[in-house]
Amino acid sequence: MYLHVGQDTVVDMSRVVGIFDLDNSTISKHTRAFLARAQKEKRVVNVSMELPKSFILCTDGEQETVYLSQLAPVTLLKRSRQI
């Protein structure tokens, strides 16, 4: 099954590790450091033309990818439950 995360981007639900609220989760210095490292390593995909509200962490074995989405985490959670 696939989850539509914004614009024309879908991710395989089996790859999704978590859906996180960008405002609340970036309070932690560990999360900020993780996102900064992912950005530096070019593992961040911005699927938002607007200010992102959430990020989706996906893994494909050893490689992690972070998707920034303009959709609220609650919306993404509802979409994932409909699948």
Chain segment 36-81, per-residue pLDDT in tens: 999 999 999 999 889 999 999 999 988 999 999 999 999 999 988 8
The residue segments making up the domain with residue 8 are 2-82
pLDDT of the residue at 33: 97
**Contact assessment for residue 5 and residue 73, using Cβ atoms and an 8 Å cutoff:** no
- Report the SS3 class of residue 28: coil
Number of domains in the chain: 1
Nearest CA to 7 among 48, 41, 42? Answer: 48
Length of the chain in terms of residues written: 83
Residue 83, pLDDT above cutoff 70: no
Q: Give the strand order in the sheet containing 16-21.
A: 16-21, 54-60, 63-69, 44-46
- What's the rounded mean pLDDT across residues 25-33? 94
pLDDT of the residue at 48: 86
